[in-house]
Homo-oligomer: A and B are copies of this chain.
Amino acid sequence: MSKVITSRSEDYSKWYNDIVVKAGLADHSAVRGCMVIKPYGFAIWEKMKAVLDKKFKDTGHVNAAFPLFIPKSFLSKEADHVEGFAKECAVVTHYRLKNDPDGKGIVVDPDARLEEELIVRPTSETIIWNTYKDWIQSYRDLPILINQWANVVRWEMRTRLFLRTAEFFWQEGHTAHETSEEAVIEARQMLDVYAEFMENYIAVPVIKGVKSPSERFAGAVDTYTTEGMMQDGKALQMGTSHFLGQNFAKAFDCQYQTREGGLEYVWATSWGVSTRLMGALVMAHSDDEGLVLPPALAPIHVVGVPIYNKKTIDRKPELDAVFNKVKEGLGADISFKYDDDDQKRPGFKFAEYELKGVPVRLALGARDLDNGVLEIARRDTGEKASIPIDNAVDYIKDLLDSIQKNLYQKALDFRTSHTTEVNSFDEFKEVLEEKAGFVSAHWDGTEETEAKIKELTKATIRCIPLDNKQEEGKCVYSGKPSKERVLFARAY
Assembled-state Cα–Cα distance A46/B61 (Å): 14
- Decide yes or no whether A119 CB sits under 8 A from chain B: yes
- Decide yes or no whether A360 CB sits under 8 A from chain B: no
Assembled-state Cα–Cα distance A73/B30 (Å): 11
Give the residue name and chain of the B residue nearest to A151 (CB): B68
Whether B106 lies near A120 (C-beta < 8 A) is no
Whether A66 lies near B108 (C-beta < 8 A) is no
Assembled-state Cα–Cα distance A96/B117 (Å): 12
| Interface size in chain A (residues, C-beta < 8 A) | 60
Give the residue name and chain of the B residue nearest to A140 (CB): B343
Residues of B within 8 A of A120 (CB): 68, 92, 120
Whether B97 lies near A108 (C-beta < 8 A) is no
Among the interface residues A37, A69, A155, which one has the most CB atoms of the partner chain B within 10 A? A69
A103 to chain B, nearest CB (A): 11
Assembled-state Cα–Cα distance A370/B410 (Å): 65
Give the residue name and chain of the B residue nearest to A130 (CB): B30
Assembled-state Cα–Cα distance A264/B361 (Å): 37
Assembled-state Cα–Cα distance A92/B90 (Å): 6
A89-B97, A95-B89 known; A74-B155 Cβ under 8 A: no
Among the interface residues A75, A92, A94, which one has the most CB atoms of the partner chain B within 10 A? A92
CB contact list, A95-145 vs B, under 8 A: 95-98, 105-106, 108, 117-120, 127, 130-131, 140
Among the interface residues A36, A75, A95, which one has the most CB atoms of the partner chain B within 10 A? A95
Identify which of B63, B70, B74 contacts A43 (C-beta below 8 A): B63
- Decide yes or no whether A169 CB sits under 8 A from chain B: yes
- Decide yes or no whether A1 CB sits under 8 A from chain B: no
Identify which of B36, B71, B73 contacts A65 (C-beta below 8 A): B36
Residues of B within 8 A of A96 (CB): 87-89, 91, 155
**Can you list, as one digit per residue, whether each of A49-75 has a CB less than 8 Å from chain B (1) or not (0)?**
000000000000011111111111111
Among the interface residues A66, A130, A140, which one has the most CB atoms of the partner chain B within 10 A? A66
Assembled-state Cα–Cα distance A46/B82 (Å): 33
Residues of B within 8 A of A43 (CB): 62-63
Assembled-state Cα–Cα distance A457/B25 (Å): 52
Identify which of B35, B36, B64, B119 contacts A42 (C-beta below 8 A): B64
Assembled-state Cα–Cα distance A69/B90 (Å): 10
Identify which of B36, B66, B92, B118 contacts A66 (C-beta below 8 A): B36
